[in-house]
Amino acid sequence: NSIIGEMYRWPHTIPYVLEDSLDINAKGVILNAFERYRLKTCIDFKPWSGEANYISVIKGSGCWSYVGNRHVGRQELSIGANCDRIATVQHEFLHALGFWHEQSRSDRDDYVSIIWDRILSGREHNFNIYDDEVSDSLNVPYDYTSVMHYSKTAFQNGTEPTIVTRISDFEDVIGQRMDFSDYDLLKLNRLYNCTSSLSFMDSCNFELENVCGMIQGSGDAADWQRVSRASGGPETDHSNMGQCEGSGFFMHFDSSSVNVGATARLESRTLYPKRGFQCLQFFLYNSGSEDDQLNIYVREYPAGNVDGSLTLVEELKEIPVGSWQLYHVTLNVANTFRVVFEGRRGSGASLGGLSIDDINLSETRCPHNIWHIRNFTQFIGSPNGSLYSPPFYSPKGYAYQIYLNLESTTNVGIYFHLISGANDDQLQWPCPWQQATMTFLDQNPDIQQRMSNQRSITTDPFMTTDDGNYLWDRPSRVGQVVVFPNGTEYSRGRGYGTSAFITYERLRSRDFIKGDDAFILLTVEDVSHLNSTQNQPVPTSSVDDLCSEITCENDGICTVRNGKAECRCPSGKDWWYSGERCEKRGSTRDTIVIAASSTAAVFAAMLIVTLVSVYCTRKKYRKKTSSNTTAMTLETQHAF
């Protein structure tokens, strides 16, 4: 629910400064949070270049923000110690954009009960309700899944919950810190009149017969078919795994019905890039030959080229048979373009073909690596629940491994390890400023509706351990010798991560596990450039100076108009402040009283004037009548 008043809104592109006080990991997390805003809303962020008002992100004490644009020039927002989580940053920026907490809305008591005697003494005010003169729920239902909702343990004085949801199923849902909920996005997009986003391009689960405007290629041997099952597999689509009767479609290229080398092309609708880099993500199922392959092309339309030029981007070969696989393909297209999926029949025997589903295209960076975990549920709460990923390499050449701890019965733990690798002799040690971002993928078909769980850690080359070693030193020097399943020995450095990555309840609340498969997306990038100070331009204009000369009372906000500072005063439905400094309060009731009083006064004045006029006229008439009578008497006397 949002703060009422247009003066609290930011422009759609918000200027920001990441102050030097911030930890380098926090800076990276904040930039990742901005990417989520760019994907799902029309809000964008840009480094401050002298605009009158901007958000200064600091490492203060704790995690906090002001609500709405306060028009103070440099408006602070704190991402303190332990606040460097993406959903926490999203939460604080939602405050800055003008949102209060979900459970403070006026209809709160219809949905949750506040257990007052379980609240820490003196903290009861945190559970106040604010009426619709202060906040606006924007016609959106109460949202248990909001990233702006307190968790059930907020401000508790013991172990019992302070917030009890009236629908018990939501008791462990409130307080999620994964990503925006659908209603968070609806409210934000309503408040800021969003109609598009900067980085989202298209999403397709093939549920509609128009197949998202995709077209069959010409001059190839076969077509892709929209089906709900294929004879050689899969039995269901990926979007809803066949759970909804009469729906659940995907596109299938039947390689068993064509000759070796035959192709079928499926082209996306025309797409218009803004940023010049894209990530194509989709699920692929192979029920044909292990030699069947999927080629990804882009057909670009530079100015004047109506036919477009076709460029091969990636050949996907050796596609595992018999299960849905997740693929990412990086594109770098600046012209108008189409994405082309080309199925190609390989040489081996085929009883099926290739199937694609849940395509998402966005102007974002693809993750560097994917860890696909099969038969996931069997590991939950099991002594066998210590899972190590295959080895991966970062773009800089560091080898690493992820450890997922599923042994606990409540929480999933996740840890990042550097391991010995082929490039170690050429790399810098201790490993400096590599940020590892670990994302548990919510497999919702639509990328904009996903609530994936993400945490990031950054290697600090100065960090030491109890034994005096550098934590991120070369694994062959400070790590333990361990063995891969194939018997190969390697060294693994100490893990760095969290035992509270996500709870199983939250894991089951979304599509994190689908067909008993789970995906951990991994990106390890060099963030050493974030160590340097962001350029700080001299503030433009005299906006701040002009406003510093006046003080607006009653929460009024100073703005500069035609070179003159003036106060914009807050108002509600039936009240307002006015005057040069917003010092005068007015309300509808006052106006009615004034109007009624004025009417009565005017009526009384007119009545008095009328009465006086009548009195004078009558008096004058009587005088005249009296003198006429005297004259007539005299005349009569004279006549006689």
Partner 1 sequence: TPEDFDIDGGIDQDIFDINEDLGLDLFEGDIKLGAQDR
Annotated active-site positions, please?
A: 92
Among 76, 171, 290, 314, binds partner 1 (CB under 8 A): 76
Does 21 sit near partner 1 (CB under 8 A)? no
Nearest distance in Å: CB 475, partner 1: 13
Does 123 sit near partner 1 (CB under 8 A)? yes
Cα 104 from Cα 246, distance rounded (Å): 41
Cα 167 from Cα 638, distance rounded (Å): 111
C-alpha distances (whole Å) from 320 to each of 31, 288, 290, 375, 597 are: 35, 10, 7, 16, 85
Q: 69: left (phi > 0), else alpha (psi -120 to 50), else beta?
A: beta
Other C-beta atoms closer than 10 Å to the C-beta of 385 total 17
Alpha-carbon Rg for the chain, nearest whole angstrom, is 35
Contacts (CB under 8 A) with partner 1, residues 447-506: 457, 471, 480, 494-500, 503
Contacts (CB under 8 A) with partner 1, residues 169-228: 175, 177
Nearest distance in Å: CB 570, partner 1: 14
* Closest to partner 1 by CB, 548 or 627: 548
Nearest distance in Å: CB 498, partner 1: 5
Query: Applying CB under 8 A, which part among 208-216, 221-229, 359-367, 540-548 lies near partner 1?
Result: 540-548
Contact by Cβ (8 Å): 79, 57: yes
* Closest to partner 1 by CB, 125 or 561: 125
Cα 21 from Cα 638, distance rounded (Å): 118
Among 548, 610, 613, 628, binds partner 1 (CB under 8 A): 548
Query: Applying CB under 8 A, which part among 66-74, 227-235, 360-368, 441-449 lies near partner 1?
Result: 66-74
Nearest distance in Å: CB 158, partner 1: 14
* Closest to partner 1 by CB, 502 or 530: 502
Interstrand relation of 496-503 and 112-114 (parallel, antiparallel or unpaired)? unpaired
Does 70 sit near partner 1 (CB under 8 A)? yes
* Closest to partner 1 by CB, 448 or 498: 498
* Closest to partner 1 by CB, 326 or 451: 451
C-alpha distances (whole Å) from 508 to each of 150, 377, 414, 512 are: 20, 10, 17, 7
Nearest distance in Å: CB 431, partner 1: 15
Cα 82 from Cα 247, distance rounded (Å): 44
Nearest distance in Å: CB 548, partner 1: 5
Among 10, 45, 150, 224, binds partner 1 (CB under 8 A): 150
Residue 357 class from Cβ within 10 Å (0-12 exposed, 13-18 middle, 19+ buried)?
Answer: buried
* Closest to partner 1 by CB, 74 or 372: 74
Contact by Cβ (8 Å): 172, 149: no
Contact flags string 420-449 toward partner 1, x per CB under 8 A: ------------------------------
Among 35, 42, 118, 153, binds partner 1 (CB under 8 A): 153
Query: Applying CB under 8 A, which part among 77-85, 238-246, 445-453, 625-633 lies near partner 1?
Result: 77-85
Strand, coil or helix: what is 455? strand
Cα 260 from Cα 350, distance rounded (Å): 10
- The count of residues interacting with partner 1 (CB under 8 A) is 55
Contact by Cβ (8 Å): 47, 535: yes
Cα 572 from Cα 590, distance rounded (Å): 14
Contact by Cβ (8 Å): 17, 49: no
Query: Applying CB under 8 A, which part among 65-73, 182-190, 247-255, 570-578 lies near partner 1?
Result: 65-73
Other C-beta atoms closer than 10 Å to the C-beta of 628 total 10
Contacts (CB under 8 A) with partner 1, residues 389-408: 403
Instruction: Tell how far CA 287 is from the center of its chain.
Output: 37
Among 106, 126, 228, 336, binds partner 1 (CB under 8 A): 126
Query: Applying CB under 8 A, which part among 146-154, 236-244, 280-288, 576-584 lies near partner 1?
Result: 146-154
Residue 128 class from Cβ within 10 Å (0-12 exposed, 13-18 middle, 19+ buried)?
Answer: exposed
Contacts (CB under 8 A) with partner 1, residues 83-122: 83, 88, 91-92, 95, 100-101, 104, 120, 122
Does 61 sit near partner 1 (CB under 8 A)? yes
Among 64, 301, 327, 575, binds partner 1 (CB under 8 A): 64
Q: 113: left (phi > 0), else alpha (psi -120 to 50), else beta?
A: beta
* Closest to partner 1 by CB, 180 or 200: 180
Nearest to 188 by CA among 2, 34, 4: 2
> What count of residues does the chain have?
640
Pull the structure tokens for residue 192. 């800021």
- Within 13 Å and on the Cβ side, how many CA atoms surround 509? 23
Nearest to 238 by CA among 227, 249, 225, 253: 249
Does 583 sit near partner 1 (CB under 8 A)? no
Cα 419 from Cα 456, distance rounded (Å): 18
Query: Applying CB under 8 A, which part among 147-155, 193-201, 207-215, 370-378 lies near partner 1?
Result: 147-155
* Closest to partner 1 by CB, 283 or 416: 416
- The residues of the shown chain that bind partner 1, judged by CB under 8 A, are 61-67, 70, 72-76, 80-83, 88, 91-92, 95, 100-101, 104, 120, 122-123, 125-126, 128, 150-151, 153-155, 175, 177, 403, 411, 413, 415, 457, 471, 480, 494-500, 503, 544, 547-548
